[in-house]
Structure 1
Amino acid sequence: MAIIKLSATERRRLSVFFTCLSLAVIAWIFTTLSDPIPYTVREVLTFKNAPQKRAFHSLQPDTVDVTIKGTGWQMLFSKMNGDGKPITVDLHTLENRNYVVLSTQLKQINAGKEGVSQILAIDPDTLYFDFSNRLVKKVPVQLVSGVSYQKQFAISGNITVRPAYVTVSGPAERLKEITSWKTDSLKLSGINETVNTRVNLSPSNEGNLSVYPKSVQAIIPVDEFTEKTLDIPVKLINNNYADVKVFPQKIKVTFTTSLNRYPDMDEDLFEAVADLDLWRDKGYTMLPVKLIRVPPFCKIVKVEPANIDFIIKK
């Protein structure tokens, strides 16, 4: 195969040719992409000025095909970056009819858009809605959680949810069935301190049902726990006799409590009873002790003795 050798002058000419060709192609692409052209994208709808006395449910998806007049650059970037700001539709006309014509709002919609691109048409152009009587109801928030704690740590108080109630609006018949509103699941592990976080509410799957606010603050008090032992007096119930002696008169109760509440734990917070009817009706020779009052967030470890003796003097 013969190898053609180019002179320096020919190589310079060839280099200049390809350089000019490249610049011409770049200029053509730049000019073409700078010209305004119509193109279609999918965009999400959001609503404002919703009717206050009518619950509504959209009868079509919340995305529409939008024909936009813009440059080729804008079309290219819209494909690369996806759609940005959603289209906001004004629903004030739903106060007296069940549809909204989007073409009548194009001027308003375009005024709210950023950049020089303009919407030419929206498909579908008419949005239809289903209506029913609208009511508002406040219901308590139900925190859904799965929390595990570090060893010797546990929940030490009542969980606080702020706000404790949320406002649900929608059809009257549907609101009758709603008695509470759940949050998304709060899952935490290895916790050794109080949790203070925001949790989203479970979203509504129904277009004509809305909830406000969309999130709540959840506070879960957490503390380290330790054991404590107290002597608790035993009270005799169903005692119809003048003189009954129990042995021992006090029992030792070992329980776990948070370190913050440890100094405040005393025998007045507990109540232990023994039922004399168990001897009279069932022939018990020893009476089992039952704790009928225990401070919240305390866990009983052991009770000694679990049964007591008694003597009845007639």
Structure 2
Amino acid sequence: MAIVKLSATERRRLSAFFTCLVLAVLAWIFTTLSNSYNYTVQEVLTYKNAPQKRAFHSLQPDTVKATVQGTGWQMIFSGMREESKPITIDLATLENRNFVVLSSQLKQININKELTQPIIAIDPDTLYFDFSNRLVKKVPVQLMSGLKYRRQFAVSGNIVIKPSFITVSGPADRLKEIKLWRTDSLQVGEISETINTRVNLQSVKEGNLNVYPKTVQVIIPVDEFTEKTLEIPVKLINNHNYDNVKVFPQRVKITFTTSLSRYPDMTEDLFEATADLDLWRDHGYRSLPVKLTRVPPFCKIVKLSPANIDFIIKK
């Protein structure tokens, strides 16, 4: 295979030629991409000024194809851009008709968009809506949480949500499906004191629903817990024949955890322990298991001693 040998002068000329060619191509690309073009992007719709007396349901998806005017550079990087600000559509005209013409709102839409890339057309240009009577319903609020407490600390009382019920308005068929409304997840760690904070409600995903209020106050009482031991009497139940029954022992010892603030108030009157005589009569038990039938809220039983009691029936 023949090898072409170039002189130093020829190599310099060839190098200069390719350099000029590359520069020319780059200049052409830069000039071309600096021109203005129309290209299509997907845009998400949000709504404002929804009718207060009419519940509506959009008959098309919440995304549209927007024709945008921009440079070639903007067109190339449009696919790599972060999620843009949604297009906000004014629904004020739905008070007396069932459609909205988007081209009539382009000026207002572009005010909220990047001025270097104005939207010149939207497909579809007209949005249609289905209407039904607007109803109002009150539903309870459900707290969603992920709470982690410091050692020996825990919830010491009922969690308070203010307001505990919120108002939801929308189509009747949709409201039938709504039994409660959840909050955003409240995440707190290393808790050692009462929580008093505001939590957002989960956002509305449908444009034809309204929720009020948008936030609720959450109070979670927290206290340090410690152990306490009491002796309580055992109550005999289901003594249908009124037999003379003696139980041994007559009192059992319970160990439980309670909050420090309620420690002095924890007395034997708040607990109840029972033994069922039917277990002897129907099943032949020779000793009766003790069952705690009443325990104060937010108390945790650690130990019950003894767990079974003996008994004697006098004839």
TM class by shorter chain equals 0.7 to 0.9
Cα distance between partner residues in 1 of 2:277 and 2:38: 92
- Measure how far apart 1:229 and its partner are: 1.4
- Report the equivalent of 1:108: 108
Matched letter for residue 298 of structure 2: F
Q: How does 1:1-314 map to 2 (within 5 A)?
A: 1-7=2-8, 9-143=9-143, 155-161=155-161, 163-183=163-183, 193=191, 207-212=207-212, 226-233=226-233, 250-258=251-259, 261-262=262-263, 264-272=265-273, 291-300=292-301, 301-304=303-306, 306-307=308-309
TM-score relative to the length of structure 2: 0.75
Q: Pick closer, same or farther for the CA change 1:40–1:82 going to 2, 3 Å.
A: farther
1:148-194 superposed Cα distances (whole Å, 9 cap, x missing partner):
88987765433344553333111235435533224577899xx7636
**TM-score between the two structures when normalised by the length of structure 1:** 0.75
Check 1:148–1:302 CA distance in 2 against 1; reply closer, same or farther (3 A cut): farther
**In the superposition, relative to structure 1, how do residues 174 and 37 fare at CA in structure 2: closer, same or farther (>3 Å)?**
closer
Structure 1 residue 30 displacement after superposition: 1.8
Q: Provide the C-alpha distance between the structure 1 equivalents of 2:23 and 2:161, rounded to a whole number of angstroms.
A: 65
Moved more, 83-92 or 195-204: 195-204
Query: Given the superposition, is the C-alpha separation of residues 12 and 214 from structure 1 closer, same or farther in structure 2, using an over 3 Å criterion?
Result: farther
Verify the 8 A CA contact 1:226 1:256 in the aligned structure 2.
yes
What are the ranges of 5 or more consecutive residues in structure 1 without an aligned counterpart? none
Greater shift in the superposed pair: 251-260 or 205-214: 205-214
Unaligned runs of 5+ in 2: none
Deviation, structure 1 residue 137? 2.5
Alpha-carbon distance change, 14 to 260 in structure 1, aligned in 2, over 3 angstroms: farther
The residue type equivalent to 2:77 in the other structure is F
User: 49-58 or 68-77: which moved more?
Assistant: 68-77
1:93 match: secondary structure? helix
Task: Give the distance between the partners of 1:227 and 1:83, measured in 2 at CA.
Answer: 54
Q: Name the count of aligned residue pairs.
A: 309
| 8 A Cα contact 1:235 1:274, kept in partner | yes
- Aligned-residue CA RMSD in angstroms? 4.5
Give me the whole-angstrom Cα distance separating, in 2, the residues matched to 1:286 and 1:2.
Answer: 110
**Aligned with 2:120: secondary structure?**
strand
- In structure 2, what residue type is equivalent to 1:179? K
| Structure 2 counterpart of 1:53, one-letter code | K
On the 8 A contact 2:286/2:310 being kept in 1, the answer is no
- Cα 1:14–1:131, aligned 2, differ >3 Å: closer, same or farther? same
CA gap 1:228/1:171 in 2 versus in 1, 3 angstroms: same
Distance 1:305 1:67, change over 3 A: closer
Cα 1:44–1:144 shift into 2, 3 Å: same
Supply the distance in 2 between the matched residues of 1:34 and 1:164 (Cα, whole angstroms): 58
- Measure, in 2, the Cα distance between the counterparts of 1:181 and 1:120: 40
d(CA) in 2 for partners of 1:200, 1:36: 44
Distance 1:268-1:119 versus aligned 2 partners, 3 A rule: same
Q: Which moved more, 1:243-252 or 1:123-132?
A: 243-252
What is the identity, as a one-letter code, of the residue corresponding to 2:68? I
Tell me: CA distance 1:37–1:93, structure 2 relative to 1, closer, same or farther (3 Å).
Answer: same
Give the drift of 1:265. Answer: 2.9
Q: Cα gap change, 1:173/1:64 in structure 2, threshold over 3 Å: closer, same or farther? A: closer
Paired-residue identity, %: 70
Does the CA-based 8 Å contact 2:43-2:65 persist in structure 1? yes
Distance 2:75 2:163 in 1: 45
CA distance in 1, matches of 2:90, 2:298: 52
Instruction: Choose 97-106 or 285-294, whichever is displaced more.
Output: 285-294
Alignment deviations for residues 54-73 of structure 1 (CA, whole Å, 9 cap, x no partner): 11110000111111122112
Is residue 192–residue 223 contact of structure 1 (8 Å, CA) maintained in 2? no
Distance 2:274 2:83 in 1: 70
Q: Which is worse superposed, 40-49 or 225-234?
A: 225-234
**Which residue type is aligned with residue 253 of structure 1?**
I
What are the superposed Cα offsets for residues 86-126 of structure 1, whole Å, 9 maximum, x if unpaired?
Answer: 11111000000000011111122122222222221111010
Amino acid at match of 1:113: K
Query: SS at 1:37's partner residue?
Result: strand
> What's the offset of the Cα at 1:217?
6.6
